[in-house]
Amino acid sequence: MSKDVNEYLGRLDNWQDELSTLRHIVLGCGVEETVKWGVPVYMAHNGNIALLGSFKDHCVLSFIKGVLLNDPEKVLESPGENSQSVRLFRFRSVKEIEEKEGLIKAFIFEAMEVEKAGIKVAKQNNEDIVFVEELQKKLVSDPLFSDAFFALTPGRRRAYNIYFSSAKQSKSRDARIEKYTPRILNGKGINDCVCGHSKRMPNCDGSHKLYE
């Protein structure tokens, strides 16, 4: 068991019992445990296969290549209509997790086989754009962020990517992404007005400076 995951669970205000139960089940399948992007991540065959997440009204076991998994009961959910790979298994109680233990293990074992076989998700990309690595990690690790980001227009996505990628150091790129996460979650582009006083909506015209 990873000490970093122990610390992660210890910091949580809710869903500790549920995530601990999920962790025990997943580790029983023989995967490697680590922390990436601030959350517990489970690996097999040198690839990331799943991660744990805590939200306000539920916790999740997210499968990185969940779209490739066999799901006859239709329990896996897409984090957003534009998500082409990640699928979520949502839980709200330890009892619910224990009742689904067999299914959880089946998904884990299948995800391990997918990674072992080197199967890739064939993604449809209507944009001639490659997201900077730090943004890609954020999109994988934060389903809510991913939903909000892909709900933006292609132009807004491109503008953010240009701004994030222009920072020379990785830590600076991460800092920019975190700074603009609230704006993205609110559906705003990098140059959009957020104060409501612009005369050039939706663009910012600098009116906010008059109210600072």
- Model confidence at 82, pLDDT cuts 50, 70, 90, reads low
Q: Give the pLDDT of residue 112.
A: 96
Phi, psi of 129 (to 5 degrees): -150, 135
Q: pLDDT at position 56, please?
A: 85
* Position 19 confidence tier, pLDDT thresholds 50, 70, 90: very high
pLDDT score for 92? 95
- pLDDT value of position 158: 86
Whole-number pLDDT of residue 202: 53
Does this model's pTM top 0.85?
no
Q: Which residue has the higher pLDDT, 28 or 118?
A: 28
* The pLDDT of residue 196 is above 80: no
Helices 170-185 and 154-165: crossing angle in degrees, nearest 10, is 150
Q: Options 3.40.50.1860, 3.90.1150.200, 3.40.640.10, 3.30.565.10; which CATH number does 3-117 get? A: 3.90.1150.200
**Can you give the pLDDT at residue 197?**
53
User: Picking from 31-35, 119-123, 180-184, 188-192, which range would have the lowest pLDDT averaged per residue?
Assistant: 119-123
Task: Tell me the pLDDT band of 150, cut-offs 50, 70 and 90.
Answer: confident
- Residue 55: enclosing H or E segment and its boundaries? none
Domain extents in the chain: 3-117, 133-211
Strands (E) in 12-169, as ranges, are: 32-36, 39-44, 47-54, 59-63, 87-91
- pLDDT, tens digit (0-9, with 9 covering 90-100), for 96-111: 999 999 999 999 999 9
